[in-house]
Amino acid sequence: MSVRELITPKRAVIFVTVVILLILFSRKLITTLVPFIVGIIIAALLDPIISFLVSRMRLPRSLAAGLALLAAGSAAFALLFFSISRLVSELIELTNLLPEYGSTITELTDNLLDHFTRINENIPTVISLNIQRSVEGFLETLEQGTRDLINRVLAAFASFPTFLFISLISLVATYFVARDKDLLVDTMLQFVPDRWRDQVSLARERVAVDLVGYIKGRVLLLTIAVLLSGTGFFIIGTRYWVLLALMVGILDSIPIIGPGIVFTPWVAMRALAGDLNGAVYLTVLYFVIFAVHQLAEPKIMGDSVGVHPLVMLLAIYGGIVFFGMWGIIVGPFIAIMIKAILDAGLIRLPTKS
């Protein structure tokens, strides 16, 4: 089916109307569907294990789905319990020590200004005072912003009952999707016209494979970054190493930004404070993380998704613009779905004859 045949005035009006409604109600719609989307994704990730238990162990699919979900849920709960408990304790300690860190940075800035003034006596005192006031104002803003951010994170942990309820719904949805996968797929295909059924089935399989491959790749890259940075921080005796490792892992997963936004000012502050060994250690750790990421990403991601990095970056940015932070997840999913539709032949782009 060509694009010209597919796009009729009636279909164009329906499509535009649906898009407008989705944009208007996107946040509520995504909030409502999140537990079920998470359930579908987890079920897709567990499907190879469930299929192995069914084919090799001869277990009923319902029992295999329950065992796989129980094992994965137990491991995830143990990991989350350790991470969250450690994270909360480090955040509370960091909040209490923020004034001390601010005073240390202010003292360091004053010493640098005095040293710079002694080197160059031609600098007017007024300029030095203005620089000092600007630095102090910046530090106060930074301290307050950091404190507000930490308080928001701690407040988010206070909404644990809501998180627990959403997690419970997601787990139940995961079980039913994993158990009745074939039935659900066959039921959905019944609503598809016969002439499109093969292409839709192919597109569904392509979306599942590419989406699972993308998620597995990103999770593996994030895990590598967290383990590398956490190990490095622990070895050099860095405080809040769990918090910093999680931060580095998350930043490493965001295109363009990366962990350099944390390491660069940190290395500079260590060097200015006279801790050259600490600055060298952090620099080496950053380049190790950077090199491992550059070497591992092509091998891990490979052709599992097949979407160009520039297109994926555009999808993430567009997703954030339209859907907020959920766009980091929604954007790549839409890009993968569009590619699967094109690959399956549901829409044929015009070609030069």
pLDDT at 262: 79
pLDDT tens per residue, range 243-253: 788 888 888 87
For residue 314, being part of any structural domain is answered with yes
* Separation of alpha carbons 40 and 297, rounded Å: 25
Residue 119 pLDDT exceeds 70 = no
**What's the mean pLDDT in 88-115?**
64
Instruction: Say whether pLDDT at 350 is over 60.
Output: no
How confident is residue 203, by pLDDT bands cut at 50, 70 and 90?
confident
Q: Domain count of the chain? A: 1
CA distance 159 to 163: 7
* Domain enclosing residue 215, as ranges: 198-353
Q: Is the pLDDT of residue 62 over 80?
A: yes
273 within some domain:
yes
Per residue in 82-95, pLDDT tens? 777 777 776 676 66
Q: Mean pLDDT lowest for which of 66-70, 126-130, 268-272, 309-313?
A: 126-130
Distance (Å, rounded) from C-alpha 351 to C-alpha 340? 18
**What pLDDT is recorded for position 7?**
57
- Whether residue 265 is predicted with pLDDT greater than 60 in this model: the reply is yes
pLDDT of residue 67: 92
pLDDT digits (tens, 9 = 90+) for 319-340: 777 776 667 777 888 888 888 7
The model's pTM is 0.62
Taken in order 341, 343, 344, 346, the sign of the CA dihedral is positive
In this prediction, residues 186-203 reach a mean pLDDT of: 78
**Mean pLDDT value of segment 163-175:** 85
The two tokens of residue 139 are 């530090």
Does residue 177 sit within a domain? no
190 is a domain residue: no
**Residue 255, in any domain of the structure:** yes
Average pLDDT, the chain: 76
**Calpha distance 184→297 (Å, rounded):** 34
Residue 236 lies in a domain: yes
Is residue 152 in some structural domain? no
- Is 73 or 326 the better-scoring residue by pLDDT? 73
| CA distance linking residue 178 with residue 61, whole number of Å | 8
33: in domain: no
